Structure 1
Amino acid sequence: MKRILAKISLFILTIALFASCNAVKRLESEESLLTKNDIFLNGERINESRIYNQLYQTPNSKLLGFPLQLHFYNLARPNIDSILSDKFLQNDQRRERLEGLLSRKQLDSYIKSRIDFNQWIKRTGEAPVIVNQEDTERSVNRLESWYWNNGWFNVETEYEIIPSEKKEKRAKVEYYVETSTPYTIDSIKTDIDSEVLDSIYERYKDESLIIPGTQYRTLDFNAERDRLTNLFRNNGVYNFDQEYITFDADTINTDYKVNTTIIIPNRLGPNEDSTYRVPFKVHEISKVNVFTDYKYANRNESVTDSAQVENFTIYSFDEMEYKPEAIIDAIFIRPGRTFSDIARTRTYNRLNSLRNFKYPNIQYTQDPEDTTNTDLIANIFLTPQPKYSLGFDFDVSQSNIQKFGIGFGGSLLIRNIFGGAENLEISGRGSVGSSTDAAASKDDDRFFDISEIGADLKLTFPRISLPFETERFIPRYMSPFTSLSLGVSTQNNIGLDKQNLSSILNYRWTPSRQLTNRVDLVNLQYVRNLNTDNYFNVYQNSYSELNNIVQSANVVTSPDYLNNNGRLIIPQGAESFIESVNDDDNTTSGLTPGQRQNVINIRERKNRLTENNLILASNYTYLWNTKENLYDEEFTRFRFKIEVAGNLLSAVSEVAGFEENQNGNKEILGVAFSQYVKPEIDFIKHWDLGSKNIFALRAFGGIAIPYGNANSIPFTRSFFAGGPNDNRAWQAYDLGPGSSGGRNEFNEANMKLALNLEYRYNLFGALNSAFFIDIGNIWNVLDIVEDEASTFTSFSDFKNTAVGSGIGLRYDFNFFVLRFDVGFKTYDPAKPIGHKWFQEYNFNHAVYNVGINYPF
């Protein structure tokens, strides 16, 4: 009761505080705060954001209807300089008293800090938007311009400023737009002086973006200007610029039709003399010169090494370190071909992707040996990156495995290791920490009692390395790469302790700026568990469940399995008890069918998590991402991945006659290899709503289906739910499977569905916030798990989809975002019927997540 009264009191106090705020207290008597804009189109009010975005003035931003940033701005004191001066400096007696306590320098510093803090409040908040007639008239002109540029040439616009009748110093603005009949495109003619340009235009005129019969749009004409400029420059017209293109639109007595003429005169002559023009010509590349080690300091030096390959001349001021063929493969500007902007852009992109050069510079000059003035010489200046690059990293972490951990690592990048722009990366990593449970079973008083160490080796080639030619379907402009990597790691006192060996042969290429393809032809992973006897120390929930069964009134088992406290001995007692139940011998009796099934489920999970894994897989990833840079707020990202494992080993096992284990699975060197198919789909969409408001969505679906030599999925390839980047109302690995309630320490399954919705908005300055809803769960399907609560058998199991919701704060440091989210369990499928919704929707049961950058 006291808690409820405290919440009601806090709510009333908050409402009273907001109500006491005066949004217009900083306004002069003749000023009015803009509260609303309304636009009426042909007499009807419209809500199109693209139209309202044309207005110069918009009301102050609001959070749940409250102008938080405006009120924060109003906390700043106007004329703070004079206020502080009057308070501390003009009063001689007070100033002397303060200078007696503080030095004059400290007093000045204090006053300056007050002024700076006052300025920070102003910068962080949002100044009141005052209705301004000049800006309103500019908005009218913008509206007229927008409608005119979209074909309504006879548009008329008016406005009215309407003071509020209920609140003083407030007003709204209404805009009235009358469009009349829109104009449409009719005929399209050309007036092109140069025969070369006219010929190119005629060949590609069907691709025109100005289409007869469509409504006039200025943006279409701008796009057509860009298209023609790119068309001419990619067909050899080196001197062409979009300023040469103009459009003449005739609308006189045309019955709302636009008759268009595309006008392109000849280019300006020498010295840009407007009185003398010459026809455009198609230019051809006669020579390509490449300087592989250019620096500004040696610009006047003589080259000492050169090579002539395929009409390319490769120069070097010192001894040449690059194979000429490797440089030529990255250059798309070819002697004997016409000039093309696309070739130059592709050359820039490819040279940058090699990570061997900085600041590639491409220059064109007229060939002095050509009397027709159509041949160009391309000079490409490359500045090499340092041969060796070192990198170091260090971090401090905490997890459900360790109370405190320190991680460290280093890497060495060796560029151009074989002379063909290949890169070799050698990296090492390690960590030490203090365990939360694993070391408790060991007689060890050390604080840092767990450790992990690993090393990786990665060699990258700037080509697709296959025994057959791939240029026809993966051309060089797609920036193809081949990577071969090896990795090894070992853990000590972490869970079951593992040794991990991996090897990947990978190909990737980018057909466009948005699209990336990746193929892991070979993805080999071997996982060896070193300390399987520690299983029940790590998975305490399973151990407790077994003890609860043993200590049931009707259950009788061998006393050899129990310690003096009547609990199962780890590991022998627990394992013996499980086997006696599985074998249905006379050692254990009195179990109910439900208890027996629980023991079988624990046995299956233990066997799956303690067995060594051999995974030989291949996978393909398709990634479409329209995000252009770090600050792009509206984009789409779609990823599809499919992985298939074990088929090659299965075929070999049929020929080689591999031995089978007691479960009937084929083994290689004593390890049963995994066999499965695993498709995944991941979709992310961001909408920029303006004024730093973003709506973000992510949808994920994945399933891993075992078959052939396997009846389950390895832990490293399974799915989990919960955590700061998933369903934030649950800790990582705590959610699911299904309605089982996350009874294990690390809950995982072979099927996952997730949907995340997030509305992000700015509070003030660099501080942002968000409301979010996270929906999803994991299930077992088509594998060895028989637990009804954990498996997905029909569409009715969608009722076990968990829902979390919450709020978060994010501080933007420009180069990264520090994120704090609070998640509440909104719908918990593990709760009994009638108690699933909002049962733990309070801060006592909330999950607090700290992360770096946005979750998606």
Structure 2
Amino acid sequence: MYELPRYTIQKISIAGNKHVKIEDLKSNISTLKYTNRPYLFIKLNGYLSQKRSKKDSLNSKQSNLQLFSRIPDVLDTNYVQVQGLKIKNYYKSIGYLNAYVDYRIDTLSNQNVKIQYIISEGRPSLFTKDDTLIINNPALNKIVNSYLFSESLVKKNEILSTSILKNEKQKISETLRNQGYFYFNVDQVGIKINDIKDSTLTSVSLAYKIPNLNTSSSNVLYDRLFRIGTIRFNELQLEINEKEEKWISKLLTSNQLKRIVTFKEDELFSANRISQSLQNIYSTDQYKSVTIKFDTSATRVHPSIELIRNDRFNITSELGGSVFRGIPGPFITNTFKIRRVFSLLDNLEFSNRIGFEAQTGFINTDQTRKNLELNFTAVVNLPTLYLPVKYTKWTSNLIGSQTQFGIGYDYINRPEYLRSNLKVFQRYQWRKSEKEFFQLSLFDVNIINTNYPKTETATSFVTYLESLRERGNNLYRSFNPSFVSSILFQYNFRSFIPSNKLVSGKSFILGLESGGTTLNFIPNKRIGIIENLFQSDQDIQFYRYLRFNLDYRNYLLLGAKKQSQLAFKFIGGLAYVYGKENDYQLPYEKNFFIGGPSSIRAWKPRRLGPGSYNATTNLIEQPGSILIESSIEYRFRIMQLLGALNGAVFVDAGNIWNIDYPGQNSIGIWRANSFLSEIAVGTGVGLRWDFDFFLLRLDLASKMINPALPNNEKWVFNKIGFSSIENPIEFNIGIGYPF
């Protein structure tokens, strides 16, 4: 019969910890992660582990499932002391400088042992910000003192943390390297705890010392200012002959490259500007490799930027498809890029998409047909913001600046109609940092036209649009000949990199749009050339409107191991028509819609609202001019099953409304004294199956509060059911997280 070795450690326990969780100790001290618990498990573990070791010693093939591989630990007093020291050091690293750790070893009747660590945490040490600077160079002293006053990561009355001190040293180094100190590095900064002012170490002041004489990597030129010297661009080309291959460096002279490099000759060296410049060059998509080398003279840094070109021509194709009601819908997307068309850094990109996708008919939704969709777009990408010179001063610190001009054509062929959209647009795009993105379009023009074939299906569809118009739905305007022009601005902030992994962070999007702005300078608010272009017997629609939208999202990681997440979303929007020429109607695509897999999941896509309006059928999309939408979702891990299988619990709320225009009999009007009672609320649960390369999502949602019902009947959660008519469960399937 197998017996465990004498003095096998049966259990390791921790006592006395009040402010620090055991899970945090185990996750930061790897040797505490595994603890033997039930006696039977230890014995079984030891037996199978020994058996497997014998099998492995014979060079037998190991099984793929390596269970019970850890050999039970045997008592070693040195090991016990080392673990106690690690616990104490961890406490010191998070600000408990007076923590004390003792241990006790108990021998059990079966000669196994239990180890208990007894922790006396003491009071945490708090920063006082009553700090001391020991800096020989007066210029450095002034810069660091200014940094500590306005930008320091150390905050008064916060708990001391070695990670904060490490980041503080890095930030000081970055600050000085951005102000000309080329040879300065993090090792030059010394930060010590000053225990003279408070020997109990409950109130901690710091002593900043530059240079740090305790480091072996100190550079004598750490406090010397350097300016940018001669800037060189070298293009590396691979030369192939019969005997060998070698890289040849050729001097490259380019005003365009100089323009997108944010550091200039005679300026003080700045590490940030060097990084920005390399990103600017990469963003042109002209070079597969961009590296920089520095030569220094007495007070000059001479940058040499080495470049390896991308191929001039690039072609990509994507073939895919979808299946709807058993009918396949193939599509193909092609992209053709030509680099260096007009200059060294521009590119011209052509893309097209052809698809035969299955969709239901507008009128008879039981029928499914394949519809032809074509798209063609041509875009010229220029590597900077092309603006009048007097407006370019503020652009010197931007990253990835780009100007785009494009033209596109969309065509849809359905049995009910033939629809085309010719668009011409311009965009400025730039970033102020890795987190902030801006886009400005001075013109975005769409010329939309719809023709109806002489068929029974098309005639029935026109009649259907007319019936919707009589019920207050302006879907018909989406099919009338239209001229839609606008000026757009968008600001995007995101503190994290989007992925299927649970992360913490925030994002914010602000959008502003002015439609038909130039029409305000035309007496009849119409453009004759456009009207002649259509040559249609229908009234050509010109729109004037203002549109505002915002999108705020916040993600918090929860739990000791940060494996669950609380996600929050708020979206708001307002679209106001100030031109009465179209009966105060928006272009259909500029309306707000709500409901569906990535919105209020208890309602079908685009079918909620407006306000308390109760639609007679859910086949009709419901547009609105005001949007309020919010969701909160708790995401958590379940198990590994070919991928990470995660769960979610969520609550969604929101609605859309219409604006009360003069002489209009619109439904779902927004009223300040009643809109809160018209907020729809839904809840549900979901599964997320993460396969790394994509995430499959399934949500089951039901209504809690239905604003379309009378006041005393709005609560419908008690009427939930798979076969319920009043509150059926909605199934939502999607790819990726809903937000």
Query: Fold-level match, TM-score > 0.5?
Result: yes
- Please list the CA deviations of residues 71-104 of structure 1 after superposition, one character each: whole Å capped at 9, or x if unmatched: xxxxx9x959989x99xxxxxxxxxxxxxxxxxx
CA distance in 1, matches of 2:509, 2:266: 40
Task: Work out which of the residue numbers 384, 389, 406 in structure 1 matches 2:314.
Answer: 389
Aligned partner letter, 1:649: L
Q: Residues 781 and 301 (structure 1 numbering): CA distance in 2 closer, same or farther, change over 3 Å?
A: closer
Checking the alignment, whether the CA contact within 8 Å between 2:237 and 2:247 is kept in structure 1 is: no
CA distance in 2, matches of 1:725, 1:634: 20
Aligned partner letter, 1:379: S
Q: Report the more deviating stretch, 805-814 or 751-760.
A: 805-814
Structure 1, unaligned runs of 5 or more: 1-27, 61-75, 87-110, 163-168, 305-314, 317-322, 368-372, 539-568, 579-598, 662-666
**Which residue in 1 is equivalent to 2:293?**
363
CA distance in 1, matches of 2:679, 2:327: 31
- Please list the CA deviations of residues 42-85 of structure 1 after superposition, one character each: whole Å capped at 9, or x if unmatched: xxx7889989976769999xxxxxxxxxxxxxxx9x959989x9
1:312-711 matched pairs, under 5 angstroms? 315-316=251-252, 324-367=254-297, 373-398=298-323, 404-437=328-361, 449-493=370-414, 495-531=416-452, 570=460, 601-602=470-471, 605=474, 607-628=476-497, 630=499, 631=501, 633-654=503-524, 670-689=539-558, 690-709=561-580, 710=582, 711=584
CA distance in 2, matches of 1:284, 1:620: 37
Q: Residues 827 and 196 (structure 1 numbering): CA distance in 2 closer, same or farther, change over 3 Å?
A: closer
**Which residue in 2 is equivalent to 1:725?**
598
Give the superposition deviation at 1:360.
Answer: 0.8
CA distance in 2, matches of 1:249, 1:573: 81
**Which residue in 1 is equivalent to 2:624?**
749
The alignment of Structure 1 onto Structure 2 pairs a total of residues equal to 687
- Please list the CA deviations of residues 121-156 of structure 1 after superposition, one character each: whole Å capped at 9, or x if unmatched: x79xxx9x9999999988865664455345543233
CA distance in 2, matches of 1:240, 1:388: 43
Give the superposition deviation at 1:404.
Answer: 4.2
- Please list the CA deviations of residues 389-432 of structure 1 after superposition, one character each: whole Å capped at 9, or x if unmatched: 112122322569x9542222111111222114112111111111
CA distance in 1, matches of 2:635, 2:516: 44
Checking the alignment, whether the CA contact within 8 Å between 1:723 and 1:732 is kept in structure 2 is: yes
**Which residue in 2 is equivalent to 1:848?**
731
Q: Residues 715 and 29 (structure 1 numbering): CA distance in 2 closer, same or farther, change over 3 Å?
A: farther
CA distance in 1, matches of 2:395, 2:473: 46
Could you say which structure has the higher helix fraction? 1
Q: Residues 254 and 734 (structure 1 numbering): CA distance in 2 closer, same or farther, change over 3 Å?
A: closer
CA distance in 1, matches of 2:184, 2:173: 7
**Which residue in 2 is equivalent to 1:565?**
none
Aligned partner letter, 1:395: G
CA distance in 2, matches of 1:198, 1:216: 26
Give the superposition deviation at 1:221.
Answer: 3.3
**Which residue in 2 is equivalent to 1:246?**
190
Give the superposition deviation at 1:517.
Answer: 1.5
DSSP-derived class of the 2:180 partner:
coil
CA distance in 1, matches of 2:732, 2:277: 44
DSSP-derived class of the 2:596 partner:
coil
Give the superposition deviation at 1:796.
Answer: 2.0
Q: Residues 650 and 477 (structure 1 numbering): CA distance in 2 closer, same or farther, change over 3 Å?
A: closer
**Which residue in 2 is equivalent to 1:734?**
607
DSSP-derived class of the 1:702 partner:
strand
Q: Residues 211 and 721 (structure 1 numbering): CA distance in 2 closer, same or farther, change over 3 Å?
A: closer
CA distance in 2, matches of 1:778, 1:175: 59
Higher Rg:
1
CA distance in 2, matches of 1:352, 1:801: 47
Aligned partner letter, 1:148: K
Aligned partner letter, 2:503: E
DSSP-derived class of the 2:471 partner:
helix
Aligned partner letter, 2:351: S
Does structure 1 residue 824 correspond to structure 2 residue 732? no
DSSP-derived class of the 2:692 partner:
coil
CA distance in 2, matches of 1:212, 1:762: 35
DSSP-derived class of the 2:426 partner:
strand
Checking the alignment, whether the CA contact within 8 Å between 1:804 and 1:824 is kept in structure 2 is: yes
Give the superposition deviation at 1:685.
Answer: 0.7
CA distance in 2, matches of 1:668, 1:139: 87
Does structure 1 residue 153 correspond to structure 2 residue 23? no
Checking the alignment, whether the CA contact within 8 Å between 1:143 and 1:157 is kept in structure 2 is: yes
Give the superposition deviation at 1:659.
Answer: 12
**Which residue in 1 is equivalent to 2:3?**
none
Checking the alignment, whether the CA contact within 8 Å between 1:808 and 1:820 is kept in structure 2 is: yes
Structure 2, unaligned runs of 5 or more: 1-5, 35-44, 107-111
CA distance in 2, matches of 1:205, 1:600: 65
Give the superposition deviation at 1:491.
Answer: 0.9
- Please list the CA deviations of residues 596-617 of structure 1 after superposition, one character each: whole Å capped at 9, or x if unmatched: xxx8743663643443322111
Aligned partner letter, 2:348: L
Aligned partner letter, 1:688: L
Checking the alignment, whether the CA contact within 8 Å between 1:247 and 1:261 is kept in structure 2 is: yes
**Which residue in 2 is equivalent to 1:810?**
688
Q: Residues 434 and 149 (structure 1 numbering): CA distance in 2 closer, same or farther, change over 3 Å?
A: closer
1:82-161 matched pairs, under 5 angstroms? 116=64, 118=65, 144-145=88-89, 147-149=91-93, 151-157=95-101
Does structure 1 residue 834 correspond to structure 2 residue 707? no
CA distance in 2, matches of 1:330, 1:755: 41
Give the superposition deviation at 1:687.
Answer: 0.6
Aligned partner letter, 1:848: F
Task: Normalising by structure 2, report the TM-score.
Answer: 0.78
Checking the alignment, whether the CA contact within 8 Å between 2:655 and 2:679 is kept in structure 1 is: yes
Checking the alignment, whether the CA contact within 8 Å between 2:480 and 2:539 is kept in structure 1 is: no
DSSP-derived class of the 1:466 partner:
coil
Q: Report the more deviating stretch, 794-803 or 515-524.
A: 794-803
Checking the alignment, whether the CA contact within 8 Å between 1:288 and 1:333 is kept in structure 2 is: no
CA distance in 2, matches of 1:507, 1:778: 31
Q: Residues 634 and 175 (structure 1 numbering): CA distance in 2 closer, same or farther, change over 3 Å?
A: farther
Aligned partner letter, 2:184: F
**Which residue in 2 is equivalent to 1:555?**
none
- Please list the CA deviations of residues 411-460 of structure 1 after superposition, one character each: whole Å capped at 9, or x if unmatched: 11112221141121111111113442259799xx9x96421112011111
Give the superposition deviation at 1:697.
Answer: 0.9
DSSP-derived class of the 1:362 partner:
strand
Checking the alignment, whether the CA contact within 8 Å between 2:182 and 2:222 is kept in structure 1 is: no
Q: Residues 404 and 142 (structure 1 numbering): CA distance in 2 closer, same or farther, change over 3 Å?
A: same
Aligned partner letter, 1:374: T
DSSP-derived class of the 2:342 partner:
coil
Give the superposition deviation at 1:382.
Answer: 0.7
- Please list the CA deviations of residues 299-334 of structure 1 after superposition, one character each: whole Å capped at 9, or x if unmatched: 966656xxxxxxxxxx15xxxxxx711111122343
Does structure 1 residue 289 correspond to structure 2 residue 212? no
DSSP-derived class of the 1:421 partner:
coil
Aligned partner letter, 1:285: I
**Which residue in 2 is equivalent to 1:70?**
none
Checking the alignment, whether the CA contact within 8 Å between 1:510 and 1:516 is kept in structure 2 is: yes
Give the superposition deviation at 1:792.
Answer: 2.7
CA distance in 2, matches of 1:273, 1:238: 15
Task: Normalising by structure 1, report the TM-score.
Answer: 0.69
CA distance in 1, matches of 2:457, 2:74: 69
CA distance in 2, matches of 1:504, 1:131: 73
